[in-house]
Structure 1
């Protein structure tokens, strides 16, 4: 909203300094500062309210070190994160941008699903919370919304270079003042394949062997892929939220990586230099990502060991949904196994543990386990590692994975 106010003041009254709101970098800076302020200042008040309402965590008696100390710690702290994201975005982002709208919808939608789950656990005293099939249904609906919007919305486009030779490039640069030359904006469902030279995959080509027109029926492939990604990443974030600060810090690291991808993809200069797809208007997502990073870091003030509050499913499902939507929007969903590698490993550890247990029970009459406990962070707890050490090391691995993701921009 402030963007439109200062844009008006700049155009009508030529107010000194008002034009600075035109710059994404300035608004992103204000967004991260605003998110930090909201989460750190108002977070304490929200925690006190949650304590008064007796919104405490129920311990499952898993035999983990320090488990009893967590009993009664306020949960549903994801409300702090959601507030820290939503308010700065509404203030500093362009609200007519389709990508920002989509990210806001993802935040609210998954936040509501997580809130319902936490509400059932806390106030209805049902430890199972919202039934799994309803969670998945909510994730599928969000996937349909995101996939349909990205496929059909007229403002979701890309631009590709049109010059094929050095001479043509030089001539075009002279004619256009050394500005990179890209073609007209067009609808496309291309995505980036990491580590390959000609690193673009067009989903519409996947169904051409069936005889269907890929440009018309590409959504048949694209939308199910989007649904799968959103479901997988949001569940991965949910499973990762088991130690103080683990999901929060990991999400912030992933958000930094995706935020950089959004910035370079939305800049015609960087897109030309890095030889990547130029996605018009995608740079506005940087303002949203800045709020996400600020909210996560601010929440860590209260969520690091020993945690004063837990985010609950209200926060974890929302963070996963946001990161998945962001990755798809910047055409970097195939980098999710790297950027969100911690979520992936946590997810796989549960899948492998459950599958192997069921298989050995059928074959040998008793279930056997691969890990001492799943998700993976609990395995290390069982091995005797301190919770803070596990979290810090997972963060370090997350940073390494983010750096590897950056490297894919140049290594092909």
Structure 2
């Protein structure tokens, strides 16, 4: 019996690695065409310099995340949906956030006259929450209407715990927070691509070690391959960035994978860089408003938020920021995998 299970796991891992390789090859072969198409359409971010706490200034070709999302949806639909309908949820969430991100990117383009840089924060946040809550309900509903997740979570050194109906608000918060944290991190060439690649790889290993989530493992490694292909074109100095289309879509996919694997407690460890980047922006804005209200003189803790902008201003180069943040992500992911083995 054990030999049979071992053989099946090896077979599933081989399939996952082949999907990763296929995704990487597809992105490598099609990436230049995507970039040329985006250039012809002048899909270029409008430069923004507000002198604010969260200033972003690109002028780069954006919406590059399409070269990741399309191959992943294509390969998963062909090879990872047969008797694996649970894969529809991460795909649907990824596509939903990709569409929302594309709309947000559209209203931040140089060629689109708009009084706002992208969607307003209120509208964007409301739509992000809508997708997150719908996904959370589907996750919890019993079959055939949902995935019957049942609110289980693995706790290191303890085992499985049931959070019951609270899984819906918890899952909604996790999806919304991850989408925004990954979105904030996408500001340095290669940074979001590399950290996402490592994060998906970590959850792929966790799914493999569990043995019951080989479908998630295949999806994770498909995403790893697609991110690897994208990074070929996103190397510094990058002609293209993934934009909100890519960062929101991949952040949503990562959150749903963590929830479906029942290892979402490990997500802040795997995504430690995303957590720190998001917190740096939140604390910067909060402290700025707090000091303005209490003293009349606003104070910034960082030269600019999020953290990668602060580091760049203090003298770190783009490659230094990316490489050091990736090293941190690799180390934290190894810790997360070790903890998953103790659940």
Q: TM-score under structure 2 normalisation?
A: 0.90
2:255 is matched with 324
Q: Offset of 1:262 from its aligned partner?
A: 1.8
2:167 is matched with 222
Q: Match of 2:153, SS?
A: strand
Q: Offset of 1:187 from its aligned partner?
A: 6.5
**Aligned length, in residue pairs:** 329
2:46 is matched with 58
Q: Is the 8 A contact 1:38 1:83 kept in 2?
A: no
Q: Match of 1:371, SS?
A: coil
CA RMSD, 1 decimal: 2.3
Matches within 5 A, 1:265-280: 265=210, 267=211, 279=212
Identify which of 172, 183, 204 aligns with 1:259.
204
- Unpaired segments ≥5 residues, structure 2: 1-7
Q: Match of 1:121, SS?
A: coil
Q: TM-score under structure 1 normalisation?
A: 0.75
Partners of 1:71 and 1:115 in 2: CA distance: 16
Deviations 1:312-333 (A, max 9, x none): 1000000110000000000111
Identify which of 191, 199, 206 aligns with 2:159.
199
Q: Are 2:244 and 1:313 aligned? A: yes
Q: Offset of 1:135 from its aligned partner?
A: 2.1
Partners of 1:151 and 1:191 in 2: CA distance: 13
2:85 is matched with 98
- Unpaired segments ≥5 residues, structure 1: 1-19, 158-185, 205-217, 268-278
Distance 1:88 1:255, change over 3 A: same
Identify which of 172, 176, 194 aligns with 1:249.
194
1:378 is matched with 309
Distance 1:284 1:74, change over 3 A: same
Give 1 or 2 for the bigger CA radius of gyration. Answer: 1
- Deviating runs (4+, > 4 A) in structure 1? none
Distance 1:403 1:71, change over 3 A: closer
1:136 is matched with 125
Q: Offset of 1:404 from its aligned partner?
A: 0.7
Q: Are 2:112 and 1:150 aligned? A: no
Partners of 1:342 and 1:264 in 2: CA distance: 24
Q: Match of 2:61, SS?
A: coil
Matches within 5 A, 1:384-403: 384-403=315-334
Partners of 1:241 and 1:309 in 2: CA distance: 12
Identify which of 4, 23, 26 aligns with 1:38.
26
Distance 1:44 1:203, change over 3 A: same
Identify which of 88, 92, 95 aligns with 1:108.
95
Partners of 1:95 and 1:313 in 2: CA distance: 30
Deviations 1:372-399 (A, max 9, x none): 1110101101111111111110000000
Deviations 1:127-178 (A, max 9, x none): 5201222222222222223222221233788xxxxxxxxxxxxxxxxxxxxx
Q: Is the 8 A contact 1:27 1:93 kept in 2?
A: no
Partners of 2:21 and 2:161 in 1: CA distance: 37
Q: Are 2:290 and 1:359 aligned? A: yes
Q: Match of 1:200, SS?
A: strand
Q: Match of 1:402, SS?
A: helix
Distance 1:71 1:140, change over 3 A: closer
Segment of structure 1 superposing worse, 385-394 or 135-144: 135-144
Q: Are 2:184 and 1:239 aligned? A: yes
Q: Is the 8 A contact 2:191 2:322 kept in 1?
A: yes
Q: Is the 8 A contact 1:154 1:187 kept in 2?
A: no
Q: Offset of 1:260 from its aligned partner?
A: 1.4
Q: Match of 1:77, SS?
A: coil
Identify which of 33, 48, 56 aligns with 2:36.
48
2:5 is matched with none
